[in-house]
Structure 1
Amino acid sequence: MPKTWKKKKRNRGKTWIVLLIPVIVLSAYFIFEENIQKKTDPQIPEKYLSIYLEAEKIYGVPWYVLAAHHRVETRFSTMKPMVSPAGAQGPMQFMPCTFVGWKHPSCSGLGKGDIPKNEETNPAVIKKYGGYGVDADGDGKADPFNDKDAIFSAANYLSKNGAANGQIQKAVFAYNHSRKYVSEVMHYVHLYQKEGLEKASK
């Protein structure tokens, strides 16, 4: 066998090894990342599941869509403070003008507004200005910082933007206007939907 041919054969073997290294490294990374995510990603707290299901019955938005939003926005109400730098409020991170209504005289721009305290949670004021805020627990207030009110309000918003009719991605985009946000929420939508189907089949 000619020496040059042996050398070429050896080099070809090295080339394959070099090409395989990135594949092995990437595979190991994705396996590691998946395991880390499974360990660190919080499960849906039981106390919220009944709220998602109740909201689904009223607004037609699948429970796992609401769970996904809640997870992405505030990790199931565990993030502090519950007000973002932009002014979004509560477990589902509503801008005040979206919650109370963009017809409010103080609402413009990004929607922080200058809404008086006595109007922020008033269902009559919210109805007047076309907001999405909902008094879900019947205490006379539609409070963006109250878990049940916030989840029902999110269901109300998503429903009116197409989620109740199967246009989930469209509704999710309307919620935040970010493709990255849509991708993140949809990741959890599929995850929780799959988990729900697996539980139902057992």
Structure 2
Amino acid sequence: MTKKPARKKQSSKKKQSSPFRILLIPITILAIYYALNYDDPSFNLSSIGKDEIPSEYIPIYKAAEEEYGVPWYLLAAHHRVETKFSTMKSLVSPAGAEGHMQFMPCTFVGWSHPSCSGLGKGDIPPDQKTDPAVIEKYGGYGVDANGDGKADPFQMEDAIFSAANYLAHNGAADGKLEQAVFAYNHSEQYVEDVLYYADRFDEENTGHPM
């Protein structure tokens, strides 16, 4: 994610959560449920998805979908395109995007932070970058999903839920996937890449253009 969102926040069909809402209990319950039902056909996980997506991440994608209404396979696709499922050597890009889902600090903490401008690297003190109260104050998208008191883009649950929060606010929960993906990174190629993987990972869409 390298650019400041250009569009206004979209309302979604699901209620949007406060950035610092503690989500540990729902994540724990949903993660157990999805782990036990990993092979349930209702998950619509394609055979390609089973081969390519690390299974430990599926429950987190599904829990984030439950919370924000963003399709799990879209979150998986972003994760694949941004950091190859967190296998890249560095989780900090040359432009300054951070974490498993590659948030610019100003998008994660909030563009109203006094240090934020340009592409959004900012000069945000480390203790503010993960502080849910600071994130709420400046209107960021960071979420403390695992309930440890921090919203950290380098923690898997926080990163994925934060991405779901951002995508939901930009239309993904209302089916406006292309619009939401473009807001995440203003690149037509990026949109094409993310939707390509989203299509591959969802059984219902495999082989059918989105």
TM range (shorter): 0.7 to 0.9
Equivalence for 1:92: 101
Query: Under a length normalisation based on structure 1, what TM-score does the superposition of the two structures give?
Result: 0.76
Superposition map of 1:17-166 within 5 A: 43-166=52-175
Could you tell me which amino acid in structure 2 is paired with residue 71 of structure 1?
R
Could you tell me which amino acid in structure 2 is paired with residue 184 of structure 1?
D
Could you tell me which amino acid in structure 2 is paired with residue 168 of structure 1?
L
d(CA) in 1 for partners of 2:93 and 2:148?
26
Work out the percentage of aligned pairs sharing the same amino acid. Answer: 68
- Shift in Å, 1:117: 1.0
Where 2:202 maps in the other structure, the secondary structure is helix
Contact 2:199 2:205 in 1 (8 A): no
Equivalence for 1:178: 187
d(CA) in 2 for partners of 1:97 and 1:174?
14
Could you tell me which amino acid in structure 1 is paired with residue 110 of structure 2?
G
Could you tell me which amino acid in structure 2 is paired with residue 155 of structure 1?
A
Please list every run of at least 4 consecutive aligned residues from structure 1 whose deviation after the TM superposition is greater than 3 angstroms: none
Q: State the Cα deviation string for residues 17-50 of structure 1 (Å, max 9, x = none).
A: xxxxxxxxxxxxxxxxxxxxx99xx710011000
Could you tell me which amino acid in structure 2 is paired with residue 99 of structure 1?
F
d(CA) in 2 for partners of 1:57 and 1:195?
18
**Number of residue pairs aligned between Structure 1 and Structure 2:** 159
What RMSD in Å do the two structures reach over aligned CA positions?
1.9
Give the gaps of 5 or more residues in structure 1. 1-37, 198-202
d(CA) in 2 for partners of 1:60 and 1:195?
17
- Per the alignment, do residues 152 and 116 of structure 1 end up closer, same or farther by CA in structure 2, a change over 3 Å counting? same
Query: Under a length normalisation based on structure 2, what TM-score does the superposition of the two structures give?
Result: 0.73
- Per the alignment, do residues 108 and 130 of structure 1 end up closer, same or farther by CA in structure 2, a change over 3 Å counting? same
Where 1:65 maps in the other structure, the secondary structure is helix
Where 2:140 maps in the other structure, the secondary structure is coil
Structure with the higher fraction of residues in helix conformation: 1
- Shift in Å, 1:142: 0.1
- Shift in Å, 1:118: 1.0
d(CA) in 1 for partners of 2:189 and 2:205?
24
d(CA) in 1 for partners of 2:87 and 2:205?
23
d(CA) in 1 for partners of 2:106 and 2:73?
26
Where 2:52 maps in the other structure, the secondary structure is coil
- Shift in Å, 1:196: 8.3
Q: State the Cα deviation string for residues 103-158 of structure 1 (Å, max 9, x = none).
A: 00000011000001110000000000000000000000000111110000000000
Q: State the Cα deviation string for residues 155-202 of structure 1 (Å, max 9, x = none).
A: 0000000000000000000000000000000100110112788xxxxx
Give the gaps of 5 or more residues in structure 2. 1-46
